[in-house]
Amino acid sequence: MKISIIQPDLAWEDKSRNFRNLGELISPLYKETDIVVLPEMFNTGFSINPEQLSESPEAETFDWMKNIAQRGNFGLCGSYMVKENMHFFNRWVFVTPEKESWYYDKRHLFSMAGEDKFFSPGKTRLIFSFRGVRISPHICYDLRFPVWSRNRNDYDLIIYAANWPESRISVWNTLLKARAIENQCYVAGANRIGTDGEGIKYCGDSMIVDPRGVIIASANRNEESSVTGKISLTELSDFRKKFPVLKDADNFTINF
């Protein structure tokens, strides 16, 4: 399977401009990859303004994603603000060319930026299969909480959609590798570049990491681009059989 990450410079709270720019970055990947991963809040940047910017579950942004996935013949994913049942969610959505879709609501809200004051946390861990690969999605701050992402022998790939600041980029780089190693899985981390409307700077470092913690594809720092890497379920299975760490993992229960 081929996985592609888009590393954009997001326009602050400007959906139309972001759709145009992302469309230009994605179009060379049409029929050339299996999954395209976008960052967190890819249509607005990391804004705490859901009253003005959130959408119903299947509205403008969902329709845009559905159209791009069909034209490109790939799965398309990323997060954006959704309003449902009088609650706001930072929702990660995956759309297929066949019009199937899955979603995951961000579990760990970034309280230091006040995200928890405006959004409701997700309470459901999502795992689904696309083209034979079992996928577990997470959003940005989730990366710091390994229990939530612990592999129970039920997924092959973690996807992290993020707006991870440049000031803490070393943490991003370290934890993406750690999640791959401890869970014996592939990891795809999509981050943005540029400066947002709050003056926070981002440098990217989007990457795909293999189960040994080796970076197999990465985007250039501070460069708007796409990056593609191949993952192999055969190689993953062989590695897990040769070094079966997961069979010795601790059992646990998450309480809400």
The set of catalytic residues is 40, 106, 140
The tokens for 182 are 């401890």
Instruction: Compute the residue count for the chain.
Output: 256
Contacts of 190 (CB under 8 A, 6+ apart): 5, 6, 7, 37, 38, 39, 40, 78, 159, 160, 161, 162, 206
C-alpha 230: how far from chain center: 17
Write b or e for each residue in 220-241: b if 16 or more Cβ atoms lie within 10 A of its Cβ, otherwise e. Answer: eeeebebbbbebeeeebeebbe
